[in-house]
Amino acid sequence: MSRPDYSLSLLPNFPIAKQQAHTLSTHNKIRTDNYYWMRDDDRQDEQVLAHLHAENAYCDEQLAAMKPLQNTLFEELKARIVKDDNSVPVKDGKYWYHSEVRGDDEYSRHYRSTSIQADNKELLLDVNVLAEGFEFYELGEVALSPCEQLMAYSEDTEGRRIYNVRFKSLETDEMLPDVLENTEGQVVWANDNKTVFYVKKDLKTLLGYQVFRHELGSEQSQDVMVYEEQDSSFFMGLGKSRDESLIIIDLASTETNDTWVLDANKPTGEFKALMPREDGHEFDVDKLGDTFYIVTNWQAKNFRLMTATSETIADKTQWFEHTAHRENVLLEGVELFNDFLVLSEREQGQARFVVVNRQGNRMALEFADPCYYAAIAMNPEPDTRTARIYYSSLTTPGSLYDVDLATGEKTLLKQQKVLGSFNADDYQSERLMVTARDGVKVPVSVVYRKDSFKKDGTNPLFQYGYGAYGYTIDPSFSSSSLSLLDRGFVYVIAHVRGSEMLGREWYEQGKKEHKQNSFSDFIDVTKALVDQGYCDSNKVFASGGSAGGLLMGAVVNQAPELYCGVGCHVPFLDVLTTMLDESIPLTTNEYDEWGNPNDPQFYNVIEAYSPYDNISAQNYPNILVTTGLHDSQVQYWEPMKWVAKMRELKTDSNILVFKTDMDAGHGGASGRFKSLEEKALEMAFFIALLN
């Protein structure tokens, strides 16, 4: 039987974008952008849409030979997913809440019942019904009133992360006439069961900057603005304290936090600052009973846990230290229970939990895998002696445990089922430390199939990275990756600087003037894995999305010869132009991450690596670029411009294809099966290139 031919070769009729010179001048430096015309904030320009459609058509034509492979992969991915599945019920108040998904449904149904057996379940929402008629649908937040008879839920039908909030009576099963438009999606109920608070968005910058109070039965036009943030570098969120006594406005820029609170029993009162705003003070605060718990970086780069009362919370010098700062341990958060605290910590890149009882005794929860992901799951009830914890590794499917907080004993409630021939014993994970060019050791998570891996430089390798915002990509299980592992690929996560994998310093060494470290780390990991025999130097593939797409853009400019193929998804590529334009959503929030290029120092830093500005006349790898027309975080024109300029300047005959989902936003396609098509597309692209 002959092997199917999925091999790809460049088709000559790729779209050629018109060039229209646009001059940009900053700090007496002149840049000419021939593709600036591709920006259309309204997404209605006929020339722009025509070019995107032409790119989509070319992508389909170029990849037609691999379509059977893509279909095969899609069916593989889909076949591993349990079609009929339930979540583990979680108790919140008088009811147990869970969700179910059935057959080929793209979305879940949400239920509640009066017992964990769910034998008298009550349907709250059928998201499949809500999504009917929409090409894109995302259910945002679902919030029950304190009396548990009213429900608010938010929905986004465009992918722009602009949510409308609707209300339902659970007593009558009828929708209420109230609709709150253009919100962030969060809804917090006051304790009177009739007042809610929400954040309204600026429809141009897409920043949430105003908090409104709404009383059920009234028009949105009558809502009262109770807080407005004047500093556009802050993101805004709403929440409720653990004891439900306070409504909380959380304000966060990259390097500073601020918190305002209101008595949840007095919704018509005024929000008050919990403490003075202080540049560089990052903290997260919660309240249980008479005590505030503050995870803070005050005199503690890796954070420490402090406690305070209502009388002392505004004065840091009166706080009491509960858990001290440690040079080698990052304190990531705390979960509050009536008789216990659970600290989330990270040491040498490994997550762990420490349970602290009322007597101050500490107990660490241990995990066996060499690299893994663990997180506190949903624990709505503070009055419990067990905590839900989620655990996964590169070889262990997602697992939900109840942990006895007194003994540490774990009870497995559910483990993700992987249909087909999956056997965890067939796979092996490793944790490596690769020495980068400046002598720093970079953590690397590796997984492969035992019977197909030989450390002799023959395997293909897929390397993933992100490296920004302090966000850590932990090594967790992915049933999708099995399609690569079973075809002999080695799967790698490079934990480059810019995350908090090795603590706060690891993040700070991958941002602003140190951003180049993220790119160098990724490249150096690739070189080390080749040198150590983990892969064939001609069969290396890389992928990243959003800030990880920036990583890909910089890497292919700086070391294109290392990669056979690259996936670049919703990528942040035109960094310099975007960061100079405060009208673009999120720009002002990002100054503390990338630096403000209105300052000549940071202009030069960003100019040196900005992927769009550094495309040159050289050979590039085969590249697959994807985006969503309605992306609210990285605008569609960034990859559109990048591809056009790449086509203009690159000197190779490798494949460059660009696919725009005309209905989706930053998160890609909605629905559990539709989103698999995007994964199958990239996998097929890489596998086909092996031919």
Burial (Cβ within 10 Å: 0-12, 13-18, ≥19) of residue 50: exposed
Q: Which residue has the tokens 């015309």?
A: 37
Structure tokens given for 430: 């490793």
Determine the Cα–Cα distance for residues 147 and 202; give it in Å rounded to an integer: 32
How confident is the model at residue 5, as a pLDDT? 62
User: pLDDT tens across 161-178, in order?
Assistant: 899 999 999 999 999 999
Q: Are residues 574 and 680 in the same domain?
A: yes
Q: Are residues 74 and 140 in the same domain?
A: no
How confident is the model at residue 1, as a pLDDT? 37
Burial (Cβ within 10 Å: 0-12, 13-18, ≥19) of residue 172: exposed
Of 245, 276, 307, the last residue of a domain is: 276
Residue 358: closest CA among 380, 336, 377, 376: 336
Distances from the Cα of 282 to the Cα of 229, 255, 300, 587, angstroms: 17, 6, 10, 20
Q: Are residues 43 and 153 in the same domain?
A: no
Determine the Cα–Cα distance for residues 542 and 551; give it in Å rounded to an integer: 10
CATH number for position 52? 3.40.50.1820
User: pLDDT tens across 391-408, in order?
Assistant: 999 999 999 999 999 999
Determine the Cα–Cα distance for residues 328 and 348; give it in Å rounded to an integer: 7
How confident is the model at residue 119, as a pLDDT? 81
> Cβ distance 196 to 214 under 8 Å?
yes
> Is 377 inside a domain boundary?
no
pLDDT (mean) for 472-491: 96
Of 241, 276, 311, the last residue of a domain is: 276
Residue 596: closest CA among 204, 203, 26: 26
Q: Are residues 67 and 151 in the same domain?
A: no
Among positive and negative, which fits the CA dihedral 308, 309, 315, 317? Answer: negative
Q: How far, in whole angstroms, is CA 634 from its chain's centroid? A: 13
Distances from the Cα of 435 to the Cα of 9, 439, 531, angstroms: 36, 6, 12
Q: Are residues 212 and 64 in the same domain?
A: no
Percent of the chain with pLDDT strictly greater than 90? 87
pLDDT (mean) for 275-281: 95
Q: What is the DSSP track for 643-687?
A: HHHHHHH--S---EEEEEETT-BTTB--STTHHHHHHHHHHHHHH
pLDDT (mean) for 237-249: 97
User: pLDDT tens across 384-395, in order?
Assistant: 999 999 999 999
Determine the Cα–Cα distance for residues 499 and 81; give it in Å rounded to an integer: 30
> Is 68 inside a domain boundary?
yes
How confident is the model at residue 665, as a pLDDT? 63
> Cβ distance 247 to 264 under 8 Å?
yes
Of 276, 302, 336, the last residue of a domain is: 276
Q: Which residues pair with 352 in a beta bridge?
A: 345
Distances from the Cα of 316 to the Cα of 294, 297, 313, 333, angstroms: 10, 11, 7, 19
Residues designated catalytic: 546, 631, 666
> Is 113 inside a domain boundary?
no
pLDDT (mean) for 9-21: 89
Band (9; pLDDT cuts 50, 70, 90):
confident
Q: Are residues 565 and 469 in the same domain?
A: yes
User: pLDDT tens across 608-652, in order?
Assistant: 999 999 999 999 999 999 999 988 778 999 999 999 999 999 999
> Is 669 inside a domain boundary?
yes
Mean pLDDT (the chain) is 94
CATH number for position 222? 2.130.10.120
Residue 54: closest CA among 19, 18, 14, 11: 14
Lowest mean pLDDT among 87-91, 442-446, 659-663: 659-663
How confident is the model at residue 587, as a pLDDT? 77
Angle between helical axes of 637-649 and 46-62 (0-180°, round to 10): 60
How confident is the model at residue 139, as a pLDDT? 95
Q: Mapping DSSP to helix (H, G, I), strand (E, B) and coil, where does residue 342 land?
A: strand
Structure tokens given for 239: 């929440």
Q: Which residue has the tokens 């006929």?
A: 46
Determine the Cα–Cα distance for residues 592 and 577; give it in Å rounded to an integer: 16
Residue 284: closest CA among 91, 154, 476, 470: 470
How confident is the model at residue 206, as a pLDDT? 78
Q: Are residues 652 and 559 in the same domain?
A: yes
pLDDT at 3 over 60: no
Residue 548: closest CA among 666, 440, 687, 662: 666
Q: Are residues 41 and 169 in the same domain?
A: no
Cβ neighbours around 653 below 10 Å, total = 9
Residue 206 domain boundaries: 134-276
How many domains does the structure of the chain reveal? 2
User: pLDDT tens across 496-528, in order?
Assistant: 999 999 999 999 999 999 999 999 999 999 999
Band (2; pLDDT cuts 50, 70, 90):
very low
pLDDT (mean) for 310-324: 97
367 or 294, greater pLDDT = 294
Among positive and negative, which fits the CA dihedral 369, 373, 378, 383? Answer: positive
> Is 255 inside a domain boundary?
yes
pLDDT at 494 over 70: yes
SS (H, E, C) 417-432: CCCCCCCHHHEEEEEE
Consecutive H or E run containing 75: helix 67-79
pLDDT at 254 over 90: no
Q: Are residues 553 and 487 in the same domain?
A: yes
> Is 365 inside a domain boundary?
no
Band (670; pLDDT cuts 50, 70, 90):
low
Cβ neighbours around 356 below 10 Å, total = 19
Q: Mapping DSSP to helix (H, G, I), strand (E, B) and coil, where does residue 12 land?
A: coil
Instruction: Give the pairing type, strands 656-661 and 622-628.
Output: parallel
Among positive and negative, which fits the CA dihedral 124, 127, 133, 139? Answer: positive
> Is 269 inside a domain boundary?
yes
- Residue 395 phi/psi, 5° resolution? -120, -5
Q: Are residues 649 and 510 in the same domain?
A: yes
Percent of the chain with pLDDT strictly greater than 70? 98
pLDDT (mean) for 657-674: 76
Determine the Cα–Cα distance for residues 239 and 286; give it in Å rounded to an integer: 10
Determine the Cα–Cα distance for residues 629 and 43; give it in Å rounded to an integer: 8
Determine the Cα–Cα distance for residues 479 and 683; give it in Å rounded to an integer: 13
Determine the Cα–Cα distance for residues 263 and 270; give it in Å rounded to an integer: 9
Q: Are residues 472 and 571 in the same domain?
A: yes
Q: Are residues 555 and 683 in the same domain?
A: yes
pLDDT at 673 over 80: no
Determine the Cα–Cα distance for residues 558 and 551; give it in Å rounded to an integer: 11
Q: Across 527-630, where does the E strand assignment appear?
A: 540-545, 565-569, 622-628
Distances from the Cα of 546 to the Cα of 7, 189, 466, 642, angstroms: 28, 33, 8, 14
> Is 514 inside a domain boundary?
yes
